[in-house]
Amino acid sequence: MRRDVVARPTAGPGTRASVSGMSLRDAFGTDILVTGWGHTRFGRLDDESLESLVVSAASEALECSGVEPGQVDEVVLGTFNSGMWPLGFASSLALQVSDDLANVPATRVENACASGSAAVQQGVKSLLAGTARTVLVIGAEKMTHAPADVVGAALLGADYELAGRASTTGFAGLFADVARHYEKLHGPVGDTLGSIAAKNHRNGVLNPYAQLRKDLGEDFCRTVSDRNPVVADPLRRTDCSPVSDGAAALVLSTRPTGGRVDPVRLAGFGHANDFLPAAKRDPLAFAGTTAAWERALAMADVDVAGLDLVELHDCFTIAELVVYEAIGLAARGEGRRLLEAGAVHRDGRLPVNVSGGLKAKGHPVGATGVSQHVLAAMQLSGTAGDMQLPTARRAAVHNMGGLAVANYVSVLESV
């Protein structure tokens, strides 16, 4: 039996918008459809290059959508890179799919770990502007070949204070600071974070694309051990998403394309950037996430009760906990109640990260946002296989870059 969400907001983030009363299609006069998608496995892919990952995901997306390469009006590639892969000019890699893509406009976009969703929204805006009718969007990253210090330094390039500086804990240390702030206000979080990790690992078992497909159990995820050491107190290894390779792609169109899957509609989207210096941000507010969430749900004219699942950015388990509260699923300091009641589990009222999330699926940073959209679209089209939820008509996707600095939210719905 599906259980109710513990707390639903009566005002603020996630509530029904009173200003628009319209959907994206009503507001802009244009329908935005996801008509096909592709997804590689995530993980340590030693035999793959950035190019092969891009070509694989893009080819699958075009075939799935029924779109010929010559029908693509624009290509948008999301990749962070930041020195992890030697090729820093990757915008034309998708043209390797077919010579029929020659001279198609192609652009690389980057917004840290939200680069994938930045690519999606760039494609959406081209469709809304009328400069394209079919856009191929790709997110890709190649990371695992690089030494740990190179990966760490690249990722820290997304932090205002630590960019270019040595750090033994990297972004795990930054999110550990968030966890310590949370504990000061709301008490110990170790068991709660362990429950989030266990939930997402359990979900990841059902995802054929996931990097970590093993149910670790709550006891293991809650306990410090030789196999689950502290990375940055209080975060353990199971509280951190893994370094990954992978790619995902989707086709955006203003009309059905006759592909082999039912199209999925974009009902609303939002984007908000917070200040980069940490001193100008409340570490627990995730204010940019709240703003992006409100904008997306307002455009879609829907509230939390109208959602059937959420894919959110759990780069670290503390991020998932704080996002619960930032988007209004629970009051501040009460996010743990969602887990205790089972509300965010697969059989709960609002399943969160049924794909396994970044925690189990993996986090090839530029690919993550596109992957989230693909996995949500699969649920809404009834093509998610073993991951499929019994009822999935509307989903929200949340992707962020840095410590909640770049924030993107999409609302997708079945057609």
Residue 186 belongs to some domain of the structure: no
Q: Are 301 and 21 in contact (CB under 8 A)?
A: yes
Residue 182 belongs to some domain of the structure: no
Residue 253 belongs to some domain of the structure: yes
**278-301 confidence digits (pLDDT tens):** 999 999 999 999 999 999 999 999
Residue 80 belongs to some domain of the structure: yes
User: Could you tell me the residue range of the domain that residue 362 belongs to?
Assistant: 24-146+243-414
Tell me what pLDDT residue 13 has: 35
Rounded to an integer, what distance in angstroms lies between the CA atom of residue 344 and that of residue 325? 13
Tell me what pLDDT residue 392 has: 97
Residue 225 belongs to some domain of the structure: no
| Residues in the chain, pLDDT under 70 | 1-22
pTM for this prediction: 0.95
Tell me what pLDDT residue 22 has: 65
Residue 177 belongs to some domain of the structure: no
Tell me what pLDDT residue 2 has: 36
Residue 176 belongs to some domain of the structure: no
Q: What is the CATH number of the domain that holds 275?
A: 3.40.47.10
Rounded to an integer, what distance in angstroms lies between the CA atom of residue 282 and that of residue 70? 48
Tell me what pLDDT residue 23 has: 80
Tell me what pLDDT residue 408 has: 98
Q: Strand pairing partners for 406? A: 273, 401
Tell me what pLDDT residue 149 has: 93
Tell me what pLDDT residue 20 has: 42
Total number of domains constituting the chain: 1
Known catalytic residues are 113, 363
Residue 166 belongs to some domain of the structure: no
